[in-house]
């Protein structure tokens, strides 16, 4: 029989971590983080990483497996999740996928496989050299000339992604090859979504940021910078790290950095809603109100039995 998993979806700060732990303890599950930032050691406060106590309550996977300067591609991440899910299923436990990175979750659940990588890095090095000599904006204009659609969805400041898009266009002979390949996922997924009214979620996120700052978020970023992890690293694009790095490097006031973190968090919430649309018939949505966990457990138990 095909393996079965539970996937917890929804915006950041809505309560997926707490629900995942409750399901894991109630249903005999293990949690697989599908969050591209929880991979990194030393990035704990700003990523809202599960605490040591939470991780001791239920087995967790794909947390603290890389240093901040190690790059994990979408393909590598997806393969790691599939292997972990297979191992959990074979052990007789229930895999519970939880995380806020919509692209990664979609890749896992819907069977996205990224396009193959060119055989050598010559093209990449050439475009990186062009960016170093001419700037990120000029590099992005080149992409707009050959693949306007990719240029429209990639921020010009994300040089790594712009280079990758140019690399694939040049290597494959056209932009249409730079599309994920869809392959069937090797499991059946029960999708559970959490949502709250936007204003309520924003208030929760504001309060969470205040707690992060009180818990030492600034010092966490200071330690990362002191260890040589620059804010240009992909890992440091996690919300809050680059803004606080700019503050620590005297490029903006603390209040301005905090305001930008709040703005970026709101944009991220809106972006997540585009990935996990409320009208997706595969997702059963719940609001995390007092006592709702029992309703989720009942639904998941029934869905797993019927699938």
Compute how many other C-beta atoms are within 10 angstroms of the C-beta atom of residue 64: 16
**Cα–Cα distance, 268 to 57 (Å, whole number):** 29
Residue 2: its pLDDT value, please? 83
Distances (CA, A) of 211 to 46, 101, 140: 10, 22, 37
E-state strands within the chain = 3-9, 29-33, 60-61, 94-98, 112-113, 181-182, 187-194, 283-286
User: Whole-prediction pTM value?
Assistant: 0.79
Query: By C-alpha distance, which of 239, 234, 240, 237 is closest to 71?
Result: 234
For 84-139, what is each residue's pLDDT tens digit?
999 999 999 999 999 877 888 888 988 876 555 554 467 788 888 889 989 999 99
**Cα–Cα distance, 13 to 100 (Å, whole number):** 9
**Cα–Cα distance, 144 to 253 (Å, whole number):** 34
Query: By C-alpha distance, which of 8, 5, 4 is closest to 293?
Result: 8
Q: Which residues of the chain are modeled with pLDDT < 50?
A: 119-120, 176-178
Residue 307: its pLDDT value, please? 56
């Amino acid at each position: 029989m095909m393996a079965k998993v539970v996937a917890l979806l929804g915006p950041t700060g809505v309560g997926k971590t707490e629900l995942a732990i409750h399901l894991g303890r109630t249903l005999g599950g293990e949690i697989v983080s599908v969050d591209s930032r929880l991979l990194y050691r030393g990035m704990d406060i700003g990523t809202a990483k599960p605490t040591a106590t939470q991780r001791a309550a239920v087995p967790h996977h794909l947390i603290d497996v890389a240093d901040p300067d190690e790059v994990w591609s979408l393909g590598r991440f997806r393969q790691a999740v599939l292997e972990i899910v297979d191992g959990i299923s074979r052990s007789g436990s229930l895999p519970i996928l939880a995380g806020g990175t919509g692209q990664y979750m979609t890749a896992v659940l819907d069977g996205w496989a990224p396009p193959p990588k060119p055989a050598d890095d010559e093209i990449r090095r050439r475009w990186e050299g062009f960016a170093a000599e001419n700037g990120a904006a000029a590099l992005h204009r080149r992409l707009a000339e050959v693949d306007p659609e990719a240029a429209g969805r990639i921020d010009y400041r994300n040089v790594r992604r712009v280079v990758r898009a140019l690399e694939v266009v040049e290597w494959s002979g056209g932009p249409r090859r730079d599309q994920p390949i869809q392959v069937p996922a090797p499991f059946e997924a029960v999708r559970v979504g959490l949502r709250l009214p936007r204003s309520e979620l924003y208030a929760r996120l504001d309060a969470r940021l205040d707690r992060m700052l009180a818990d030492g978020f600034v010092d966490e970023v200071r330690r990362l910078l002191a260890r040589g992890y620059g804010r240009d690293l992909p890992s440091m694009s996690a919300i809050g790290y680059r803004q606080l790095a700019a503050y620590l490097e005297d490029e903006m006031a603390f209040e301005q950095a905090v305001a930008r973190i709040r703005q970026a968090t709101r944009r991220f919430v809106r972006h997540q809603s585009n990935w996990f649309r409320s009208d997706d018939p595969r997702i059963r949505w719940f609001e995390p109100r007092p006592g709702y966990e029992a309703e989720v457990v009942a639904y998941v138990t029934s869905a797993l039995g019927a699938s």
